[in-house]
Chains A and B, each alone.
Chain A
Amino acid sequence: TVKRLFSTSHSSVDSKEMKKFQLLAHKWWDEEGEYSALHSMNDIRVPFIRDTLLNMSSNYHLGNPLSGVKILDVGCGGGLLSEPLGRLGASVTGIDPLEDNIRTADQHKSFDPVLAKRIQYRSSSLEEIVEECMETFDVIVASEVVEHVADLETFIKCCSQVLKPEGSLFITTINKTQLSYVLGIVVAEKILGIVPEGTHEWEKFVPPEELQRLLESNGFSVKTVNGMLYNPLSGSWSWMESTSVNYAMHAVKSVAQGQSSPTGALSEMEREQSSATAGAAM
């Protein structure tokens, strides 16, 4: 089994995808540049992660809300999401298969003495760290990543292995619908240039139902699903009811595995309840 995980045909890293990001490795931190939409996504994804985690814990300090939390940022790129999470007090490990990205991320964090200690970057794929990081992390964040992986089920299995029991997994990604093709590829890439052309392939987009199915059959319980919308005029993101274009998902690693039917029904109800309250809260 260990050998199979390491063989490239079952790896979650796609080398074609890596080439796409190589060209833009130094553009990460230009807030007005190619990655501006990801910069402004922080305005909703950081509060989403922060508030979900604060709601689950009873013992935190508002001045340092994520203190003591160990977070793994998979596909961290230039560290756009790792840095704010680090500023909120978390110990972040950011991994990305592309060395140039890690180099950019390391350089950017080096100027801030506080961040330099809280964040560690490694050039690596998820599978490569599984062995040494079993059940190490409280939280895994995979934001705008799963639409680029080659084998989603393997990816999710690895997440489960490095996550502590009852740990949280946060995913943001793009749905596979006609609307997401029009808005996410045609408009975003070809017309408005919000995303560099060729970044996304519609075939690899993941519908939330499919993602949820994969998660729940691998020991996760999905707690929240929320649609996200990007407004190109204002350059800002907001939450929306519909998940037809972008969405965010929060799942928790269940403690006991193998009790799929009763927990399946329970988690259906939980999900409806929590997404209703989350929708009202957002």
Chain B
Amino acid sequence: LGHDIHFHDKKIALLEAGPRKEYDRMPDSFSNRVSSISPGSATLLSSFGAWDHVCNLRLKPFRRMQVWDACSEAMIVFEKDDLDDMGYIVENDVIMSALTKQLDAVADRVEVFYGSRAVGYTWPLPSHSCDTSPWVQIELADGRRLQTKLLIGADGHNSVVRKEAEIKNIEHQYDQSAVVATLHLSEATDNNVAWQRFLPTGPVALLPLSDTASSLVWSTSHEHASELLSMDEESFVDSINSAFWSNINHSDFIDTAGAMFRSAISFLKPSGTAVRQLPPSIAKVDSESRAMFPLGMGHATEYVQHRVALIGDAAHRVHPLAGQGVNLGFGDIACLAHHLSAAAFNGSDLGSLKHLLKFETERQRHNVSLIAAIDVLKRLYSTSLAPLVLLRTWGLQATNALPPVKVRI
């Protein structure tokens, strides 16, 4: 927003709990928190000049995504026909640094309060003809007070803004934690494929960081996650390799049924079965790069109220299995920025519900079906019961063979 021409003489304050993060050169080791950035999100970041900084620091484009089941041979491959990148794996610190640089460029309009925390909010009363200020009042931990026409809550899935505004949240804790780590491959390779295998305990994913390194995101039960964190590095590496390579969970029944379906498809649609590639094997893990965090799902019943808007995880929280969480947030930003810019050019009061509701409708329409689909996938793949495995095996094989459905995904 600070870079938007129609916001030329507006004032924006950003309350950031963390410290300022800016890098001129990335350290040699990779951070264990990474995100998969879609091309659409990259476009948003380049619209205000941040993507250039990301490219100058560090990122890894990937061209192909292979997703397969541990309980069967079913597999789906996503690939763009032209030589375009499907997406980019970027460390979160890199994105933060790029954003910090671009914030500095509009420091006259945007003031960032690092290390700050809001302790109280005073909401305006709905009726307008009273003597108290119609704006939102914010009290900071250090005693300073701010007032604003529009408060945007981007404070994550435990959003305080959302709670204080009394917006109901539909939430559900998965009995899963995600384990992240930075891994080193046995041998250098092009490494432009993202791998994900659905184990009965949860999906395990390898996201490329460079020709020799990849990032691990392994969603599994809380107990297994703690085990993974506490075991020695060799055992950890062994667990990862076996997760990707072993066929323990296959049953003959499923294998036969799957093979039959596959031959049926290749009869009807010769190009419908893709070549299965083998994921890289892991040689070692960066010490101290292992970490875990709990997973859950959430969706706010309203994204907006008078003078308040929620974006990103404050509005919706998803399982990392689809790599979509941060991209949904970027989509929210692009939409809200578009509506606020138009409102500013019309001279409207920025906190007015009229344009905020347009943002809410547009995003809810887009987000709800995706959030529901991710939740369904998570549940569908959390079991090794034969009927469901068969269902998802055939479903995955069919989806892999049908270009129109794949393109939409």
Whether B134 pairs with A111 at a CB distance below 8 angstroms is: yes
A20 within 8 A of partner (CB): no
Whether A47 pairs with B129 at a CB distance below 8 angstroms is: no
Q: Which residues of B contact A37 (CB under 8 A)?
A: none
CB within 8 Å of B: which A76-93 residues: 83-88
Contact status of A104 and B129, CB under 8 A, knowing A63-B8, A111-B135: yes
Whether A86 pairs with B347 at a CB distance below 8 angstroms is: yes
In the bound complex, how far is the Cα of B200 from the Cα of A74, in angstroms? Answer: 72
B29 within 8 A of partner (CB): no
A108's nearest neighbour on chain B, judged by CB, is B128
Q: Which residues of B contact A63 (CB under 8 A)?
A: 5-9
With both chains docked as a complex, state the minimum distance between the C-beta of A66 and any C-beta of chain B, in angstroms: 8
Whether A31 pairs with B127 at a CB distance below 8 angstroms is: no
Q: Which residues of B contact A265 (CB under 8 A)?
A: none
In the bound complex, how far is the Cα of B135 from the Cα of A61, in angstroms? Answer: 28
Contact with B along A56-77 (1 / 0, CB 8 A): 0000011111000000000000
Whether B347 pairs with A64 at a CB distance below 8 angstroms is: no
Q: Which residues of B contact A88 (CB under 8 A)?
A: 345, 347
In the bound complex, how far is the Cα of B133 from the Cα of A215, in angstroms? Answer: 43
Contact with A along B319-353 (1 / 0, CB 8 A): 00000000000000000000000001111110011
Whether A46 pairs with B127 at a CB distance below 8 angstroms is: no
Whether A85 pairs with B8 at a CB distance below 8 angstroms is: no
A43 within 8 A of partner (CB): yes
B350's nearest neighbour on chain A, judged by CB, is A87
Q: Which residues of B contact A213 (CB under 8 A)?
A: none
Q: Which residues of A contact B128 (CB under 8 A)?
A: 29-30, 108
Whether B5 pairs with A84 at a CB distance below 8 angstroms is: no
Q: Which residues of A contact B9 (CB under 8 A)?
A: 63-64, 114
Whether A84 pairs with B129 at a CB distance below 8 angstroms is: no
With both chains docked as a complex, state the minimum distance between the C-beta of B12 and any C-beta of chain A, in angstroms: 13
Whether B8 pairs with A64 at a CB distance below 8 angstroms is: yes
A42 within 8 A of partner (CB): yes
Q: A46, A62, A111 — which one has the most chain B CB atoms within 10 A of its CB? A: A111
B127's nearest neighbour on chain A, judged by CB, is A30
Q: Which residues of B contact A117 (CB under 8 A)?
A: none
Contact with A along B1-16 (1 / 0, CB 8 A): 0000111110000000
Contact status of A31 and B353, CB under 8 A, knowing A63-B5, A84-B346, A84-B347: yes
In the bound complex, how far is the Cα of B8 from the Cα of A62, in angstroms? Answer: 8
With both chains docked as a complex, state the minimum distance between the C-beta of B305 and any C-beta of chain A, in angstroms: 14
Whether B347 pairs with A31 at a CB distance below 8 angstroms is: no
B354 within 8 A of partner (CB): yes
A67's nearest neighbour on chain B, judged by CB, is B9
With both chains docked as a complex, state the minimum distance between the C-beta of B31 and any C-beta of chain A, in angstroms: 37
Q: Which residues of B contact A108 (CB under 8 A)?
A: 128
Contact with B along A95-107 (1 / 0, CB 8 A): 0000000001001
With both chains docked as a complex, state the minimum distance between the C-beta of B366 and any C-beta of chain A, in angstroms: 21
Whether A42 pairs with B348 at a CB distance below 8 angstroms is: yes
CB within 8 Å of A: which B80-137 residues: 127-129, 133-135
Whether A26 pairs with B5 at a CB distance below 8 angstroms is: no
Contact status of A61 and B8, CB under 8 A, knowing A29-B129, A30-B128, A111-B133: yes
CB within 8 Å of B: which A114-130 residues: 114
Contact with B along A33-50 (1 / 0, CB 8 A): 000000010110011001
In the bound complex, how far is the Cα of B348 from the Cα of A148, in angstroms? Answer: 26
Q: Which residues of A contact B344 (CB under 8 A)?
A: 87
Whether B346 pairs with A42 at a CB distance below 8 angstroms is: yes
With both chains docked as a complex, state the minimum distance between the C-beta of A55 and any C-beta of chain B, in angstroms: 15
With both chains docked as a complex, state the minimum distance between the C-beta of B356 and any C-beta of chain A, in angstroms: 12
B346's nearest neighbour on chain A, judged by CB, is A46
Please report B residues at the A interface, Cβ cutoff 8 Å. 5-9, 127-129, 133-135, 149, 344-349, 352-354
* A-B pairs with lowest CB-CB distance, top 5: A63-B8, A84-B347, A29-B128, A87-B347, A88-B347
7 A-B pairs within 8 Å (CB atoms) are namely: A26-B129, A40-B354, A42-B346, A46-B346, A63-B6, A64-B9, A86-B347
